Amino acid sequence: MFALLHLVAGVAGWWLKGLPGALIGIVVAGLVLTALDVFRGARVNAWLREGNLQHIPYRYGLWGEVSERMYRVARRLEKQDQDSQQRLSDFLAAIQASPNGVVLLDGKGAIEWCNQTAAEHFGIDAERDRQQLIGNLVRDPIFVSYFKGTDFSREILIPGRSASASRPVRLSVQIHPYARDVDEGKRLLLSRDVTALEQAEVMRRDFVANVSHEIRTPLTVLAGFVETLQNLPLSEAEQTRYLDMMATQSRRMQTLVNDLLTLSRLEGSPLPSFAEWTPIAQLHEAYAHEARALSESLVLPADPAQVLVLDAGPGKALAGSGAELISALSNLVNNAVRYTPPGGRIEARWTALADGRLEFSVSDTGPGIAPEHIPRLTERFYRVDRSRSRETGGTGLGLAIVKHVAQRHGAELRIESTMGVGSRFTLNFALSRQRDFTAPQVVSA
């Protein structure tokens, strides 16, 4: 177009004025092209200032090629920006879903962003408290001292904002500087709820201490009797009495070890399937035999006997491990026998509930349990009255075993008690865990 316009202008000027006219035509053509080029450049510049990528001012010519290239570059940059924004949104969404708290702090310690978990941990509002100093919102002395320091190589433990005496909450908090320029001072504050871990550690220490204490007591008694038998001249009657006491302590240790092994097996083995079905009559025979033997051993000849009402139950069978079910039901009945005074009444009954579940209940006329103790009865070695438990031979693991067996068989354990009246323990088995069972008939030849 540049050459064509100059040729046309030169020919026209030559035709009109000869050589001078040709020169004038060529100059005029150059001025027109320059003006047109400036106009097009101005339009392209205005298009760039507006940032409107919906249309391109020129598609052809030099400015058209420039516009096209700029359009492609702008679209590529826009796409990269959209991808970056999407990645940032995905990253923030992932952090938002994290079970750990995350807080981004600027160089002054002001909150730039935090996820909902951190907001719950520290009792702050993710939107309202943005740009607020974290030191003004978290006033725990341990955190304040840690935040003002420079050594962030270790984590600290502080109480959570929602902590209370009845529901303690413990947080692990650690700060990580993350800015490239150290002078910027930007920091990443991480928090996680370690309440369950601390409670598990406390339970572990208590468990070890309780096991050590429970085993050490009978061992001390056994060691004392052995030393007595070795060093003192005793009559046959005295030797018999000491040996009986030693046998009692040995049985106590054996019972404790058996209960510990049972708990370990329950926690480490797979859930029982529906392939094994145990008749309720068989369960009844097992726990009834144990209960009667235990009652006879605990009640002195001069005291009135306990009244045991042990319902044989319906003609049904329960799905699951027969050994585990016997252990759970026997523990419930035996506990009632141990804590019911002479002359008291213990009832074990099977009841079909309206919703189809089958309930096994054990009621007694013992001293009852205070309400504050009921939530903790299924903890290992937890006892309302330690001296009473040792007198009756309890290990403090019976209800823990019952709880585990109930969970493994889809049953529900409930505890009701009234001080001075008695207690009632129930196990409710789902309809899917029961079926009709008829004992095989023995036909004589």
Q: How far apart are CA 234 and CA 115, in angstroms?
A: 76
Residue 188: phi and psi, rounded to 5, are -110, 120
Total domains in the fold of the chain: 4
CA atoms within 13 A of residue 404's CA, in its CB half-sphere = 24
pLDDT of 345 > 90? The answer is yes
Domain boundary among 269, 285, 311: 269
pLDDT of residue 1: 66
Please check whether residues 237 and 141 belong to one and the same domain.
no
Please check whether residues 177 and 289 belong to one and the same domain.
no
Domain boundary among 236, 269, 302: 269
- The residues pairing with 190 across neighbouring beta strands, listed in sequence order, are 102, 174
Please check whether residues 6 and 65 belong to one and the same domain.
yes
CA 120 to chain centre: 16
Please check whether residues 277 and 162 belong to one and the same domain.
no
Helix (H, G, I), strand (E, B) or coil at 285: helix
Band (pLDDT 50/70/90 cuts) for residue 53 is low
pLDDT of residue 443: 43
Q: How far apart are CA 196 and CA 387, in angstroms?
A: 30
E-assigned strands of 182-334?
A: 187-193, 277-279, 307-310, 316-319
Please check whether residues 407 and 310 belong to one and the same domain.
yes
pLDDT of 98 > 80? The answer is yes
Tens of pLDDT along 221-275? 888 888 888 888 888 888 888 888 888 888 888 888 888 888 888 877 788 888 8
Which residues constitute the domain of residue 138? 98-193
pLDDT of 182 > 70? The answer is no
Please check whether residues 133 and 30 belong to one and the same domain.
no
Please check whether residues 299 and 370 belong to one and the same domain.
yes
Please check whether residues 167 and 32 belong to one and the same domain.
no
Classify residue 445: in a domain, yes or no.
no
Please check whether residues 116 and 165 belong to one and the same domain.
yes
Band (pLDDT 50/70/90 cuts) for residue 441 is very low
CB neighbourhood size of 79 (10 A)? 10
Domain boundary among 77, 93, 109: 93
pLDDT of 445 > 60? The answer is no
Band (pLDDT 50/70/90 cuts) for residue 387 is low
pLDDT of residue 393: 54
**305 close to 343: Cβ distance less than 8 angstroms:** yes
Please check whether residues 33 and 152 belong to one and the same domain.
no
Band (pLDDT 50/70/90 cuts) for residue 181 is low
Please check whether residues 104 and 160 belong to one and the same domain.
yes
Q: What is the mean pLDDT of residues 207-214?
A: 76
pLDDT of residue 428: 95
- The residues pairing with 170 across neighbouring beta strands, listed in sequence order, are 159
Greatest mean pLDDT among 129-138, 174-183, 389-398 lies in 129-138
Q: What is the mean pLDDT of residues 181-204?
A: 80
**130 close to 113: Cβ distance less than 8 angstroms:** yes
Q: How far apart are CA 323 and CA 271, in angstroms?
A: 13
Residue 341: phi and psi, rounded to 5, are -70, 165
pLDDT of 114 > 70? The answer is yes
Find the CATH number of the domain harbouring 356.
Answer: 3.30.565.10
pLDDT of residue 417: 93
